[in-house]
Amino acid sequence: MTMRRVVVVGGSIAAVTAIDALRLHGYEGSIVMVSAERHAPYSRVPLSKDVLSGASSAETAQLPALDDSVDLILGDRATTLDTTSRTVELASGARVPFDGLVVATGARPIRLAEDGQTGELVLRDLPDAMVIAERASHATSAIVVGGGFLGMEVASTLLDLGLAVTLVDREPPLRRLLGPWMASLVTTAAVAKGLRVVHGSGNVQLIGDPVDGVRLGDGQTLRADLVVSAVGDRPAAEWLASSGLPVRGGVVVDEQCRVAPGVVAAGDVAVVQRPAGLLTRSPHWTNAVEQGRVAAISLIDADNAVEARPDPYYWTEQFGLNIKIVGNLPGLGSPEILDGDVESRSALLQWGNSCEPVATIAAINYRIAVGRLKKLRAVGDGT
């Protein structure tokens, strides 16, 4: 099929990278980007940190503008995909026809509030960050539900803003992601800065309408001026329900990010079907960049389609720690200290396991080029 018009649904880094890759790989036809967001593409990364704290304005998160050859439709959500007529229908009623389609609609935060219960705060997009910042400006206390990267970053920023912050989760913060050793290091730093950590077995329930607290599984209740849920996200794939495309949680792609003829997907909305049948999802910036690139190539240059290479690289900033990690998570057991020292919280660390002598490398408040981190791991890996 001659590809004259590619529609990219989504407005974040996977969508933007796909658009860049289309052009870089020689596609000269028309490109339409459809985004539910009112803002031109921006980075979500600073939202939980400098944008939330007010240290940086919202504008500083903006990504450099796409060139004029891309038509942007902002503030209009894709509601239906018709794969027969090859048309995307939007909330405004507009119908956008395509020859090629990139699905990059991202994800939506999971909410804990009951239907109709108001006041729950989440952090996914720029308006979310602005709402939390505004609420925080006349609050003295906050509860953050969820001790993952996002929850801990939000807790750290709110603490820096002077709020009394309680973090609630069923398990110790970050343990599932980072393993017990590093999770403990971060939590120790967090508690030293004043974070209160409360573990509760069972589900956390939001109380009040508007929400002003939580009830833990054991019945204990906590109250605060604001309650932020950071309990994960779900691929924003509902609009594909009637499309006939494979949706299992997210839209199912192969390792070349292909969904169906002339349809590819990338980023947080995608789940990858591995050859063994396993479905995996990597809702991280680096993965969105890689999948955006691969999806574009698969769409316009099928003969030269490439596999999205897993590039496990994660970073977070919280409680005075800048952490960069390359490799498998969680690191198991205690790491070998390659340089620096843990006492002063500036160290280069390495974990091995029975299969790989260097499975994970982490730099904590330790300046090292990311490329060098990756090489350290690759050398140990023998790859």
Task: List residues binding other proteins (CB under 8 A).
Answer: 13, 16-17, 20-21, 23-24, 41-43, 45-46, 60-67, 285-286, 289, 293, 313, 315, 322, 324, 367-371
Q: Is 229 exposed, middle or buried (0-12, 13-18, 19+ CB in 10 A)?
A: buried
Nearer to other proteins, 286 or 328 (CB): 286
Distance CA 21, CA 297 (A): 7
Q: 211 vs 348, which CB is nearer to other proteins? A: 348
> 249: phi > 0 → left, psi -120 to 50 → alpha, else beta; which?
left
Choice between 137 and 383, CB closer to other proteins: 383
For residues 276 and 369, which CB has a smaller minimum distance to other proteins in the complex?
369
Q: Residue 64 or 261: which CB sits closer to other proteins? A: 64
CB of 23 to other proteins, least distance (A): 5
Q: Give min distance, CB of 10 to other proteins, in A.
A: 14
Could you tell me which residues come within 8 angstroms of residue 240 by beta carbon, excluding any fewer than 6 positions away?
81, 103, 247, 251
Reference 99, options 255, 261, 240; nearest CA is 261
State in angstroms the smallest separation of the CB of 124 from other proteins: 16
Q: How many Å apart are CA 207 and CA 120, to the nearest integer?
A: 10
How far apart are the C-alpha atoms of 152 and 149, rounded to whole Å? Answer: 5
Q: How far apart are CA 130 and CA 126, in angstroms?
A: 6
**Burial bucket for residue 296 (CB in 10 Å: 0-12, 13-18, 19+):** buried
- Least distance to other proteins from the beta carbon of 348, Å? 12
- Shortest Å, Cβ 24 to other proteins: 5
Tokens, residue 32? 């339409």
Strand partners, 78: 90
- Specify the residue, 6 or 289, whose C-beta has the smaller distance to other proteins: 289
The phi, psi pair for 131, rounded to 5°, reads -65, -45
| Residue that is written with structure tokens 């990364």 in the block | 45
Task: Please name the amino acid found at residue 81.
Answer: L
How buried is 198 (Cβ within 10 angstroms: 0-12 exposed, 13-18 middle, 19+ buried)? Answer: middle
- For residue 361, the number of C-alpha atoms closer than 13 Å in the C-beta half-sphere is 22
Q: Could you tell me the sign of the dihedral formed by the alpha carbons of 58, 63, 69, 70, in that order?
A: negative
Give the position of tokens 């979500």. Answer: 44
Nearer Cβ to other proteins (67/171)? 67
Beta carbon of residue 320, minimum distance to other proteins (angstroms, whole number): 15
Q: Give whichever of 90 and 321 is closer to other proteins, judged by the CB atom.
A: 321
Quote the least distance from Cβ 45 to other proteins, whole Å: 4
Report the nearest approach of other proteins to the CB of residue 79 (Å). 27
CB nearer to other proteins: pick between 21 and 224 = 21
Nearer to other proteins, 86 or 293 (CB): 293
User: Minimal distance in Å, beta carbon 286 to other proteins?
Assistant: 7
> What are the CA-CA distances from residue 31 to residues 4, 79, 89, 93, 228 (Å)?
9, 19, 16, 20, 37
Report, in Å, the least distance between residue 63 CB and other proteins. 5
Is residue 327 within a helix (H) or strand (E), and if so which, with residue range?
strand 321-327
